Structure 1
């Protein structure tokens, strides 16, 4: 069957009241345009509302991708960073919404980066920048970003990502430890307050945000280095007054 017809059927299903994950036309139009078969190895199930595994990572189901992008709401011309690019399907949707030249993506596993680049090129979004990085560190040389999407579960968004957010920007992430389901939450602006983030009603179930040594095929699986750096930075920033001064004794 013609893939365009299958995409139309997929979007119709997501708009139906039984799922109702698509509100407004922008994301629906993007999902009608992006050839999902370029990112899913099994073309027979490319347009079923289900996730797929590829190279140790996950291609989100269309409904989960729609939930994240509905909350992110990238606009034409927005500078967008996707953390956890996977093999590129969600990145392609963001590129359709904001423009491929405006979208940057990071992925921690090098083989997945190569796959994402190839898939995006084949789908018509070759201008997207995909780099091999620890996603928690973001992409500071291209900051600030109007929109940041973390396509992995985290209790709080890493501080480096919040710092790379534009003053009127938005960061969307699945809040949770990576077991069971998480709630999709939104941070508006770079002044992150864990108590003030916007809690959405949508839920999703994603794996935790990986750090160096945790990607598929890595020898070590150790997240302590990044956590130690993050805790040390937070402690330093929290010190005030006499803790920063030398005591002078007569």
Structure 2
């Protein structure tokens, strides 16, 4: 069957299953050739695991939910944190224009793949860079919309700082039980129900890294638990056997 027919069927199914799907998002998803980004049954409404990385390629219904919450408008400047294979960035580009979409991913191989996919699909103006997502992309800030395709307990401060006045950040908030939220002016403005994403990674945690980077994530938690703490983390590596 022709890919355009499969794509229309996919979006028809989303419009039927979701409580609401903004017209702009539906039109954009009808326009993006998802088979250029996903080779395994691209128009079936299910997530798939990327063949080389510990990355989940989002189901179309999840993309629709994220973009409905994000509510991108024509000419918005948008940052996507967690570029993946590039599909979500392409759908946003259909709405705002590809030169206004920026995306980052911590896994270098995915950055290369997303660039190739976007170029082949006709969205070569999307900028994709290899960065720690929590750091954002300050060189191109401010952004009217920021989409975080990974979970965190709270919105990273540096991402909030890169929002334009009146901007909107959308992310899965929480660990374990997560809720899709939109953040405006530093506060949760709207909630869009439960979903489940993998956590936002820091350098050293991505697929293919040799050593997990404990310092970036864990040291802030431990720094207030100094030598006087009853169960200080440093006591785990002190060799007490040689002491009197």
Q: Which bracket does the TM-score occupy, shorter chain normalised? A: 0.7 to 0.9
Given that 1:22 and 1:67 are in contact with CA atoms closer than 8 Å, whether structure 2 keeps it comes out as no
* TM alignment of 1:3-18, pairs within 5 A: 3-16=3-16
218-227 or 203-212, which moves further after superposition?
218-227
Q: Tell me, yes or no, if structure 1 residue 215 matches structure 2 residue 206.
A: yes
> Which ranges of structure 1 fall in alignment gaps of 5 or more residues?
233-250
Q: Which residue of 1 aligns with 2:62?
A: 64
CA shift digits 1:188-231 (9 cap, x unpaired): 13xx1xxx412423322110001100000001112532565799
Given that 1:211 and 1:223 are in contact with CA atoms closer than 8 Å, whether structure 2 keeps it comes out as no
Given that 2:202 and 2:216 are in contact with CA atoms closer than 8 Å, whether structure 1 keeps it comes out as no
- Give the TM-score taking structure 2 as reference length: 0.86
Give 1:127's match in structure 2, choosing from 125, 128, 148.
125
User: Would the alpha carbon gap of residues 205 and 60 (structure 1) be closer, same or farther in structure 2, given more than 3 Å must change?
Assistant: same
91-100 or 102-111, which moves further after superposition?
91-100
Given that 1:107 and 1:135 are in contact with CA atoms closer than 8 Å, whether structure 2 keeps it comes out as yes
Q: CA deviation at 1:98?
A: 1.1
Q: Which residue of 2 aligns with 1:148?
A: 146
CA shift digits 1:10-37 (9 cap, x unpaired): 0110111xx2254231100011001110
Secondary structure of the equivalent of 1:197?
strand
Q: Distance in 2 between the 1:161 and 1:201 partners?
A: 20
Given that 1:146 and 1:168 are in contact with CA atoms closer than 8 Å, whether structure 2 keeps it comes out as yes
* TM alignment of 1:84-233, pairs within 5 A: 84-177=82-175, 179=176, 181-189=177-185, 192=186, 196-226=187-217, 228=219
User: Would the alpha carbon gap of residues 145 and 95 (structure 1) be closer, same or farther in structure 2, given more than 3 Å must change?
Assistant: same
> Which ranges of structure 2 fall in alignment gaps of 5 or more residues?
224-244
**What RMSD, in angstroms, separates the aligned Cα atoms of the two structures?**
1.7
Q: Which residue of 2 aligns with 1:48?
A: 44
Secondary structure of the equivalent of 1:225?
helix
Q: Which 4+ stretches in 1 moved above 6 angstroms? A: 229-232
